[in-house]
Amino acid sequence: MNTIATTPPAAGTASAAVDARALVEIRRVRKSFGAHQVLRDVSLAVPEGTVTVLLGPSGSGKSTLLRCINHLESIDGGRILVDGELIGYRQAGHTTHEMTPRQIARQRRDIGMVFQKFNLFPHLTALENITEAPVGIAGVPRAKAKARARELLDRVGLADFAGHYPSQLSGGQQQRVAIARALAMDPKLMLFDEPTSALDPELVGDVLDVMRELANDGMTMIVVTHEIGFARGVADQVVFMDGGVVVEAGPPGEVLDRPQRQRTRNFLESVR
């Protein structure tokens, strides 16, 4: 059982105004692991068709927030909505109750996620990795799923690699297959958890190019990354987190070039 947060935000926190038209609404979310509070009254809105980049030092709560959005982690308070639907919980009076695993899995179909460590099935080819979920979870006919998978491989620049196994692909190629796999479920929202941090520097550009194309096509995206150039060129909103709170949020030109908080300035100086 989970009670909706009613306490005021923690001192020193900032938040992006929650917009009723937003595809993603994060309202005063709290999350702890034991005695360690990882998220403290985090509020954020992500309008449909926009890119939000989460920046911050290690341990600031960025990845945990991302995992809470698709309920890979439960929350201790507050609420998260995607397209107006409460994620992971159902409302019962003044309390919320966690959904069943089947109900949560249904919600996750609309939320694609790309991890730092690819997470491809090693015994399946690139094509098979992409078709697995549409066939096994969504019940898409295999022939239709294969045709869609080939379209997606072409989209990420890997049309000639359908029959390759992950061990035969570079890290950048594996990550692009992972992106295609997430897109195969036709999600409303894409989450990226440091998608380039495990890659050799020369492989980063190909993955970022795919992400730029998704942004240009209007995909709603939330991206945890330290790629400041990507944030500056692609993001509609940059959110700086530290200590489990939103310290500063706004357009890239404001947060990256004219940050208002000293913590933000210190972080940007360290990554530049």
Give me the pLDDT at residue 91, please. Answer: 87
Closest CA to 236 of 38, 24, 40: 24
Q: Does residue 165 belong to any structural domain of this protein?
A: yes
Give φ, ψ of 126 to 5 degrees: -55, -45
Looking at the fold, whether 173 and 195 belong to one and the same domain comes out as no
Give φ, ψ of 88 to 5 degrees: 85, -10
DSSP element (H, E) containing 247: strand 245-250
The parent domain of residue 25 ranges over 2-110+187-271
- 41 pLDDT above the threshold of 70: yes
Looking at the fold, whether 93 and 132 belong to one and the same domain comes out as no
Domain final residue, candidates 134, 165, 186:
186
User: Could you give the CA distance from residue 177 to residue 232 in angstroms, rounded to a whole number?
Assistant: 25
Give me the pLDDT at residue 253, please. Answer: 95
Q: Which three-class secondary structure state does DSSP give residue 242? A: strand
Q: Does residue 230 belong to any structural domain of this protein?
A: yes
Looking at the fold, whether 10 and 88 belong to one and the same domain comes out as yes
* CB 225, CB 195: distance < 8 Å: yes
Q: Does residue 115 belong to any structural domain of this protein?
A: no
- 15 pLDDT above the threshold of 60: no
- 181 pLDDT above the threshold of 60: yes
Looking at the fold, whether 130 and 262 belong to one and the same domain comes out as no
User: Could you give the CA distance from residue 148 to residue 132 in angstroms, rounded to a whole number?
Assistant: 12
Side by side, the strands of the sheet bearing 77-82 are 36-47, 22-33, 77-82, 85-86
- 158 pLDDT above the threshold of 70: yes
Looking at the fold, whether 94 and 218 belong to one and the same domain comes out as yes
Looking at the fold, whether 21 and 106 belong to one and the same domain comes out as yes
Domain final residue, candidates 186, 219, 239:
186
Angstrom distances, CA of residue 61 to CA of 3, 67, 119, 176, 254 = 21, 10, 22, 25, 22
pTM, 2 dp: 0.90
Please enumerate in sequence order all residues whose Cβ is within 8 A of that of 96, keeping only pairs 6 or more positions apart, or say none.
1, 2, 3, 4, 79, 86, 89, 90
Looking at the fold, whether 66 and 197 belong to one and the same domain comes out as yes
Greater model confidence, 15 or 160: 160
Looking at the fold, whether 12 and 76 belong to one and the same domain comes out as yes
pLDDT digits 0-9 by tens, 223-236 = 999 999 999 999 99
Closest CA to 209 of 186, 236, 175: 175
Closest CA to 189 of 80, 56, 42: 80
Looking at the fold, whether 194 and 182 belong to one and the same domain comes out as no
Mean pLDDT, to the nearest integer, of 259-269? 95
Looking at the fold, whether 230 and 126 belong to one and the same domain comes out as no
Question: What is the rounded end-to-end Cα distance, in angstroms, of the chain?
Answer: 44
**Domain count across the chain:** 2
- 6 pLDDT above the threshold of 90: no
Q: Does residue 116 belong to any structural domain of this protein?
A: no
Mean pLDDT, to the nearest integer, of 254-270? 95
Token pair recorded at residue 70:
């698709």
Q: Does residue 233 belong to any structural domain of this protein?
A: yes
Give me the pLDDT at residue 3, please. Answer: 41
- 69 pLDDT above the threshold of 60: yes
Window from 2-6, 33-37, 132-136, 176-180 with minimum mean pLDDT:
2-6
Which CATH number goes with the domain that contains 239?
Answer: 3.40.50.300
Say if residue 246 is exposed, middle or buried (CB neighbours under 10 Å; 0-12, 13-18, 19+).
Answer: buried
Domain final residue, candidates 158, 186, 214:
186
SS (H, E, C) 32-93: EECCEEEEEEEEEEEECCCEEEEECCCCCCHHHHHHHHCCCCCCCEEEEEECCEECCEEEEC
Looking at the fold, whether 192 and 232 belong to one and the same domain comes out as yes
Looking at the fold, whether 68 and 199 belong to one and the same domain comes out as yes
